[in-house]
């Protein structure tokens, strides 16, 4: 599993997380806003499930068996 070494993988994960949380890069203009958003996400089970599903979609390779 060398996906985590690819910049393309991390761009996909970041995009999936931003979409799942309903955020934009411009929402994080200060450290305070970033920590507030992280806290809000951590307190919302529906958002956590959305993030997990989005990351799974980026991580999974449908051309192979299992989670690859």
16 Cβ partners below 8 Å, 6+ apart?
Answer: 51, 54, 55, 57, 58
* Structural domains in the chain (count): 1
Task: List Cα–Cα distances, 12 to 3, 6, 43, 67, in angstroms.
Answer: 11, 10, 24, 17
* Three-class DSSP category at 11: helix
pLDDT in tens, the chain (68 residues): 577 777 888 888 888 788 877 888 888 889 998 898 889 888 999 888 988 888 787 777 667 776 66
Residue 7 domain flag? no
Residue 37, domain extent: 25-63
pLDDT of residue 12: 82
Residue 4 domain flag? no
pLDDT of residue 6: 77
Residue 5 domain flag? no
DSSP codes joined into one string, 22-55: T--GGG-SSHHHHHHHHHHHHT-HHHHHHHHHHH
């Amino acid at each position: 599993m060398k996906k985590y070494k690819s910049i393309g993988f991390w761009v996909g994960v970041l995009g999936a997380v931003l979409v799942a949380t309903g955020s934009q890069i411009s929402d994080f203009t200060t450290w305070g806003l970033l920590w507030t958003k992280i806290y809000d996400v951590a307190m919302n089970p529906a958002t956590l499930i959305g993030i997990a599903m989005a990351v799974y979609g980026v991580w999974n390779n449908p051309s192979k068996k299992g989670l690859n």
